[in-house]
Structure 1
């Protein structure tokens, strides 16, 4: 498991450290990339296509996440020939996952499950081309989104090196930039009907990249306490956990982040790496990941 670094701590991690714990807004804020004033982290985690990541979101005091309304979205960006600890240019992102309400017409959001301490779960595409990637997991808290610029953005980024021999990749037209893609007027960001269960929630664009198996923009089905996804996870993936910490109900609440990477029993296990802790005033994140095992 990897923890993100606190503002006064510099332990090695794969999670990029932010300089401020506050909610990020408006949609044009430079902090929408990976958080405010982030730079490369010290470590890179090995992963495989189909690996399942878990993001644990908690408060800085390790209390459970306090927001329950709004989507969670996951993006990847290819760092090219260099490992992502050496990559700090404007990344081009493509979406691999999004979850919103548990079902059409429900008042319950998958995000609310974080309040019970369960992680947000995301699978890397089972056909993802090998390479160096940043993964960006984001919560958009919409409890104030009935007002213009009321949405609160909580992005976090971690550094991965994906192995394998797959060839799945996004089309050029599916790449986006942060900031730049979102607007404060976008559906799913400024949403006067966010508490109206009869109104269909529209995720902020872009759509999930077309190469991702089972990609869809439909509302995620209910899956109990486990976060559901609008893409079908790989059947071969094993469960891991990437955990960010939750925000509080007010913009003055505290939170922290952390990320954990566990070795699996697979033949090619993750490289060992030191654990670090990151605390933010408003949000905290943790990341854990296990590799998908393949037959020898």
Structure 2
């Protein structure tokens, strides 16, 4: 009965979201509520929880109307970054979407990242996470309240970097232009003495990395298993996993292993930050999305 009601009537759901906080080697940094008061942070603030639409949208860079953050977090090669994606206007609930990939990119800031305009930055990919089983995406971990886990490359050159975490929500991507992009940028200062850097064919700009019609963005068969998902954008940079050059790397648009450089392994000593004040967004879900997240909303329907 609960699933039947879910498909017939509009329900209150936590339709969109943002990065509420990050934990770097055990230290947690809080973000700002989209469009709210701006407090010191290492996470660039976005203006809304709504997704970026369209592969040519300038906000594809760091999120909707993202502004530079005032602080920069210290990190090192091989640092573990836990990124807490949250749902709702104030981040009081878990991430809501469970269909699509999450990818991580980096770019080196020409000065301190707190004043760096990334409009023309060249980004390289350090991880891509998609399907964990034939029909379950890595995003299911985020829906369950767990963080996305990414590792800073072990041989990266020292300097200031932006870390770009991006979810592409595909529940409406059965039509061209339906994909929902959720990018977020975290400002880092990385130490060490590494020499690793991307090669020219491993970088791209946002917008520019994607098109609305390429595989991985336009996915007309996303609900027809078996799913053979192709990650969009450039390959993971060769130096990230220890390769000396990019000759053996999968090219753009070529399927590569789901877990390229990081796996889900939350810290046993870390726990999600306290929820922000309660406020809900409202959206009538697409039937395909309803089918995949109705289990998550079942307690609400019985409340």
**If the length of structure 2 is used for normalisation, what is the TM-score?**
0.72
- For residues 248 and 73 of structure 1, the distance between their equivalents in structure 2, rounded to whole angstroms, comes to 25
Q: Give the deviation of 1:193 after TM superposition.
A: 1.2
Question: Which residue is equivalent to 1:100?
Answer: 130
Question: Which residue is equivalent to 2:114?
Answer: 85
Question: Which residue is equivalent to 1:29?
Answer: 57
Q: Give the deviation of 1:31 after TM superposition.
A: 1.0
- Contact in 1 for aligned 2:173/2:218 (Cα 8 Å): yes
- Contact in 2 for aligned 1:70/1:140 (Cα 8 Å): yes
Q: Does 1:151 align with 2:179?
A: yes
Unaligned 5+ segments in structure 1 are: 221-228, 253-296
- For residues 239 and 125 of structure 1, the distance between their equivalents in structure 2, rounded to whole angstroms, comes to 22
Computed over aligned residues only, the root mean square deviation of the Cα atoms, in angstroms, reads 2.7
- For residues 70 and 158 of structure 1, the distance between their equivalents in structure 2, rounded to whole angstroms, comes to 21
Q: Give the deviation of 1:5 after TM superposition.
A: 1.4
Question: Which residue is equivalent to 1:167?
Answer: 195
Structure richer in helix, relative to its length: 2
Q: Does 1:58 align with 2:96?
A: no
**If the length of structure 1 is used for normalisation, what is the TM-score?**
0.74
Q: Give the deviation of 1:20 after TM superposition.
A: 2.2
Listed one character per residue, the Cα deviations across residues 151-181 of structure 1 (whole Å, up to 9, x for unaligned) are 1000000100000011111012211000111
Larger radius of gyration: 2
- Contact in 2 for aligned 1:53/1:240 (Cα 8 Å): no
Question: Which residue of the other structure, out of 188, 198, 211, is the alignment partner of 1:183?
Answer: 211
- For residues 88 and 180 of structure 1, the distance between their equivalents in structure 2, rounded to whole angstroms, comes to 16
Q: Give the deviation of 1:185 after TM superposition.
A: 0.2
Question: Which residue of the other structure, out of 131, 138, 147, is the alignment partner of 1:119?
Answer: 147
Q: Any idea what SS the aligned residue of 1:218 has?
A: coil
- Contact in 2 for aligned 1:17/1:38 (Cα 8 Å): yes
Q: Does 1:218 align with 2:256?
A: yes
Structure 2 vs 1, CA of residues 239 and 184 (structure 1 numbering), >3 Å: closer, same or farther?
farther
Q: Any idea what SS the aligned residue of 1:76 has?
A: strand
Q: Does 1:69 align with 2:99?
A: yes
User: Which gives a bigger RCO, structure 1 or 2 (Cα 8 Å, sep 6+)?
Assistant: 1
- For residues 171 and 251 of structure 1, the distance between their equivalents in structure 2, rounded to whole angstroms, comes to 44
